[in-house]
Structure 1
Amino acid sequence: MAPQRFHEQFDQIQRSMPDVPLAMGPDGDAGLLYEKGVVLARDGEEARIVEDTVRAHFTETRGLFPDHVRRTGPQTSRTGVTRIRVGDPGQGDDPVPHALRALGEMEARRGHQLASRNHVVHIAVNACPGDEPVPAVRTGPVNPGVAAGGYDPETAVRVLVVDTGLVHDHGSCPLLAHTTGDAQVDETDGDGLLHQYVGHGTFIAGIVAAVAPNSDITVLGTLNDAGAILESEFGARLFEAVDRAGWPDIISLSAGTPTTGTGTTGGLTGVTGLIGLEAFMRELRSQRTLLVAAAGNNASSTPFWPAAYAALPEYADSVLSVGALRADGEAEACFSNHGPWVRAYAPGERLTSALTGFDTPVPYVYQHSTYDACRFGFSYPCTCRFPCHTGVLSEQRESTGAKPDQVMFDGLAQWSGTSFATPVAAGLVAARMTAYREREPRMAGARLLAATVERAEVRGARVPALRPATWRPVPLAVPALPA
């Protein structure tokens, strides 16, 4: 992934977590963020082994401090995770890589990972944005369009969106008439400008509602804080979400993170999943809920978790991982992650849905500049390049003094990312449950994939393409930025 956009966004996330020192890694790897000076381990014996092993290693390593190695926070929790401080990130090099290397021999003997970085889990446009939203005509059509069929509260499929919350006037949008949930926190700044990523959860809910009108959609603002959260907290927040809303038929989750690791899991060499999510994923497996998760926007084959759980045999029926197709639906969008762990692809470039309500227009200033060429090396007119705009965070703007572009939103928007391909797929599973009166969401998801004959070209492979009948391809032409 091109570093410029990632570094710009890293600064934004760090500002949203002022008390948490963050790092990119390893070697500034784009898309991977974690907490400096802290590792995660499983409660009990493994946490003790990690603590003792790292302390013994640091006794023999210059510049690191064994007396800093200690457990922090609750020692037991529902997530089964212990947070261990392995050094002071303010003194010398970040101690986390040293601590993980110290555990290598012990992990090899035990045959599995004992500790991991405390990753930053982010909505799948945040640390790796597909693009920023573009205003659409407020009276224009949504894309995907609204499918046939009405809403019946007795038979409606229950869909839980774990994301940012709903904008305050979402009820003025007909698409969201039956959508409930948390309010978006701090929609605008002191100047009345829309904050970055406000409307992300609202946009997703609108897509689900269009594809599957007979859905009860609940949007929880679990990721309201700039769409980013530490892995050590994420599992607990997911438990809170299902405790509040109940286990639904479908969870639409447009968030995750890549990882680093030394194990081989389910045929995915070098990755191990998220220690902080293990307890939640085990509980998910025991339920009937289908988790539909975004593959991420790093244009990478590196697994993005929790979507990558779909490739593990024990989760194959309970997780559907979704990549994004470009605007014409024939191949992957330039930003979409890919690989054998991505089960299906759905339209995810230049979709149209509700961003804000229709009551009051609100201004937005672009944060990132577009590029002269696709940052991932694609040649079609992708969202890296068009519509052209200058962003306030851009290094180019700082060097040229260019003024950032401002637009007005008053309802609908056009937006791109695997974040939005995910609710397309979730909506298609929900729509199938209604059409065929299926009661089991996992069976509906499996049958949807089995019945999908359409294919798209992704990195030389022909992959399942979940294109709703109401979705309209967008011509691959250079679009203009609305005035």
Structure 2
Amino acid sequence: MAPQRFHEQFEHIQRSMPDVSLAMGPDDGAAHFLYEKGVVLARDGEEARVVEDAVRAHFTTTDGLDPDHVRRDGPETNRTGVTRIRTGDPSAGEDTVPHALGALREAEDRRGSRLVSRNHVVHIAVNACPGDEPVPVARTQPANPAAAEGGHDADSAVGVLVIDTGLVHDHGSYPLLAHTTGDLQAAETDADGVLRQYVGHGTFIAGILAAVAPDTDITVRGTLNDAGAILESEFGARLFEAVDQGGWPDIISLSAGTPTESGEGLLGLDAFLRELREQRTLLIAAAGNNASDTPFWPAAYAALPEYADSVLSVGALRADGDGEACFSNHGPWVRVFAPGERLTSALTGFDTPVPYIYQHSTYDACRFGFEYPCTCQYPRHTGVLSEGRESTGAKPDQVMFDGLAQWSGTSFATPVAAGLVAALMAAQGERDPRTALARLLAATTDTAEVRGAHVLALRPATWRPVPVVAPAAPAVSA
């Protein structure tokens, strides 16, 4: 990862959570994820008591640690099956979470299972890349993927739940979103009327879904804050709220996650994933944008045998479709790839154009070492967060959105894959999304080369490759 970009986005997410003290992990100095300082998670009941007692005993015998801070921080039982345990005052000196994790290491080794976890931040893209930010597109341009043939039938429509940021206020001005409902974004712009980062992310995803699969009823839940983040301890509860509110849908499209230090899944989502497994709902989740083979959860549940038919992980193909996008995570736990670079869909500004100031500056070359003209480099812009650290003297670039945008990320490959499953369900009258997924994968013969391996590539018929030509270097006078 690029430490500078990680730090830029860390500071942005921290500002969006003013009442929570965050830290970067793991503890070896190589930042890969964010978590809450002074809090660990444990399973309800006996395991939570074991964790609390072990941490208190360790803190009692260790200089510099205060056992009086160790306590339950919330109800002893809840539907998510996890308990927050406070391990220290996050505002006072050294973070106590690593010490708490160490206190349980021997007990975990004896039991052969995990007892305690950090409280991770689940996010859209913490290792921010310039491709994580949208680019204006003229309203005369078609969507990409373009709208598939067919209409909407209320009796046969496939139900898709998008867990993301909320809908923008003018989403109804985009015809493809005529059958999209859900939560409106609470605050779209700052005090100066400038669009906040990741506002419109959920709307953009819904637009892709509706284009690929017109016969869908899409519900967007604004589960993530306007920095695209939420604490793991809250995320499970919010997922349960979403399915309780509208019932278990056919498909859940989720474009957020996190790596973990242990490489294991998220303790705070275990209960939700177990219940999802018992339903017929299919979770389709983004593989993440770290250009890494480190598992990104919850997408990586797709590699576990018990979730093989209920979770699909999706990586991103580059704009021309010839291979993976430079930013896409990869590895055996990523089951399919779909177009995810320079897609076009709805953002905002349909009623009144809205300004946006870029947060992250582009690079002179691909940050991940790829040689094609990727979103790390083009279109060129200077970002306010990058400039705050680099102080090059360049002025951050501002653009205006009047409806459509071009955007990149595994966030957007995910609704492409979800749309293809939904489209197959509608076309074949199949009511089981897991059966539809199995048929789709069995019928897919397209592949893409990703890090030397040939992987399944889901390319909608209405998707168009986007050639990207690097701008010519300016001529130099003799």
Whether contact under 8 Å (2:128, 2:360) holds in the other structure is no
1:12 aligned residue: 12
Whether contact under 8 Å (2:160, 2:219) holds in the other structure is yes
Greater shift, 448-457 or 29-38, is seen at 29-38
Tell me, which stretches of 5 or more residues in structure 2 are unaligned? 473-478
| Code of the aligned partner of 2:3 | P
String of CA shifts for 1:316-339, please: whole Å, max 9, x gaps: 000000000111111111111111
String of CA shifts for 1:295-325, please: whole Å, max 9, x gaps: 0011111111100000111110000000001
Whether contact under 8 Å (1:168, 1:357) holds in the other structure is no
Deviation at 1:126, TM superposition (A): 4.5
C-alpha distance in structure 2 between counterparts of 1:147 and 1:450, whole Å:
22
Task: Label 1:395 to 1:192 Cα distance change in 2 as closer, same or farther (>3 A).
Answer: closer
Task: Label 1:72 to 1:479 Cα distance change in 2 as closer, same or farther (>3 A).
Answer: farther
Whether contact under 8 Å (1:31, 1:128) holds in the other structure is no
Deviation at 1:476, TM superposition (A): 3.4
1:73 equivalent in alignment to 2:74 = yes
1:314 equivalent in alignment to 2:306 = yes
C-alpha distance in structure 1 between counterparts of 2:455 and 2:290, whole Å:
19
1:3 aligned residue: 3
| Code of the aligned partner of 1:364 | Y
| Code of the aligned partner of 2:23 | A
1:197 equivalent in alignment to 2:198 = yes
Tell me, which stretches of 5 or more residues in structure 1 are unaligned? 262-270
1:436 aligned residue: 428
1:290 aligned residue: 282
1:274 equivalent in alignment to 2:275 = no
C-alpha distance in structure 1 between counterparts of 2:115 and 2:249, whole Å:
32
2:60 aligned residue: 59
1:183 equivalent in alignment to 2:175 = no
1:268 aligned residue: none
2:324 aligned residue: 332
Within 5 Å, which residues of 2 pair with 1:6-405?
Answer: 6-26=6-26, 27-123=28-124, 125-129=125-129, 130-261=131-262, 271-395=263-387, 398-405=390-397
Deviation at 1:365, TM superposition (A): 0.7
1:456 equivalent in alignment to 2:448 = yes
Q: Aligned match of 1:447 in 439, 444, 449?
A: 439
C-alpha distance in structure 2 between counterparts of 1:143 and 1:30, whole Å:
34
C-alpha distance in structure 2 between counterparts of 1:478 and 1:324, whole Å:
21
String of CA shifts for 1:355-378, please: whole Å, max 9, x gaps: 115211111111111111111111
| Code of the aligned partner of 1:348 | G
Whether contact under 8 Å (2:2, 2:127) holds in the other structure is no
> Secondary structure, in 3 states, of the residue corresponding to 1:256?
coil
C-alpha distance in structure 2 between counterparts of 1:349 and 1:254, whole Å:
14
Whether contact under 8 Å (2:181, 2:220) holds in the other structure is yes
> Secondary structure, in 3 states, of the residue corresponding to 2:132?
coil
Deviation at 1:63, TM superposition (A): 1.2
| Code of the aligned partner of 1:183 | L
Whether contact under 8 Å (1:391, 1:397) holds in the other structure is no
| Code of the aligned partner of 1:170 | H
| Code of the aligned partner of 2:22 | L
String of CA shifts for 1:25-48, please: whole Å, max 9, x gaps: 013444400001110000010001
Q: Let me know the Cα RMSD of the aligned residues.
A: 1.3
> Secondary structure, in 3 states, of the residue corresponding to 1:244?
helix
Deviation at 1:89, TM superposition (A): 2.8
| Code of the aligned partner of 2:461 | A
> Secondary structure, in 3 states, of the residue corresponding to 1:394?
helix
| Code of the aligned partner of 2:16 | S
Task: Label 1:222 to 1:190 Cα distance change in 2 as closer, same or farther (>3 A).
Answer: same
C-alpha distance in structure 1 between counterparts of 2:471 and 2:324, whole Å:
19
Deviation at 1:451, TM superposition (A): 1.1
Whether contact under 8 Å (1:128, 1:296) holds in the other structure is no
Greater shift, 22-31 or 181-190, is seen at 22-31
1:476 equivalent in alignment to 2:477 = no
Q: How many residues align?
A: 470
Q: Aligned match of 2:416 in 424, 439, 454?
A: 424
Task: Label 1:397 to 1:280 Cα distance change in 2 as closer, same or farther (>3 A).
Answer: closer
Whether contact under 8 Å (2:139, 2:402) holds in the other structure is yes
Deviation at 1:475, TM superposition (A): 1.1
Deviation at 1:196, TM superposition (A): 0.8
String of CA shifts for 1:74-102, please: whole Å, max 9, x gaps: 11111111100112233332111111112
> Secondary structure, in 3 states, of the residue corresponding to 1:400?
coil
C-alpha distance in structure 2 between counterparts of 1:52 and 1:463, whole Å:
47
| Code of the aligned partner of 1:7 | H
> Secondary structure, in 3 states, of the residue corresponding to 1:358?
coil
TM-score (ref. length: structure 1): 0.95
String of CA shifts for 1:219-266, please: whole Å, max 9, x gaps: 1111134211110000000000001121110000001111012xxxxx
Whether contact under 8 Å (2:199, 2:226) holds in the other structure is no
Whether contact under 8 Å (1:167, 1:357) holds in the other structure is no
> Secondary structure, in 3 states, of the residue corresponding to 2:209?
helix
C-alpha distance in structure 1 between counterparts of 2:449 and 2:388, whole Å:
34
| Code of the aligned partner of 1:162 | I
String of CA shifts for 1:166-223, please: whole Å, max 9, x gaps: 1101101111111111101111111111111110000000000000011111111111
1:406 aligned residue: 398
> Secondary structure, in 3 states, of the residue corresponding to 1:393?
helix
| Code of the aligned partner of 1:4 | Q
| Code of the aligned partner of 2:12 | Q
TM-score (ref. length: structure 2): 0.96
Task: Label 1:479 to 1:284 Cα distance change in 2 as closer, same or farther (>3 A).
Answer: farther
Q: Aligned match of 1:415 in 407, 421, 424?
A: 407
C-alpha distance in structure 2 between counterparts of 1:383 and 1:225, whole Å:
22
Greater shift, 49-58 or 292-301, is seen at 49-58
